[in-house]
Amino acid sequence: MELIGQAPELTGLLCEAFICEGFVSRGKLIANANVVYLRFDGAWHKLVIDCGVIFWRPFSGEPSRWTIASEGWEYPHVDVGVIAGVVGHRLREYRMETVAAGGSVIFYFDNDRTIAIDNENDASSFRIG
Distance of CA 60 to the CA centre of its chain: 16
Q: Determine the straight-line distance between the first and last CA of the chain, rounded to whole angstroms.
A: 24
pTM: 0.93
Rounded-to-integer distance, Cα 51 and Cα 54, Å: 8
pLDDT (tens digit per residue) in 5-49: 999 999 999 999 999 999 999 999 999 999 999 999 999 999 999
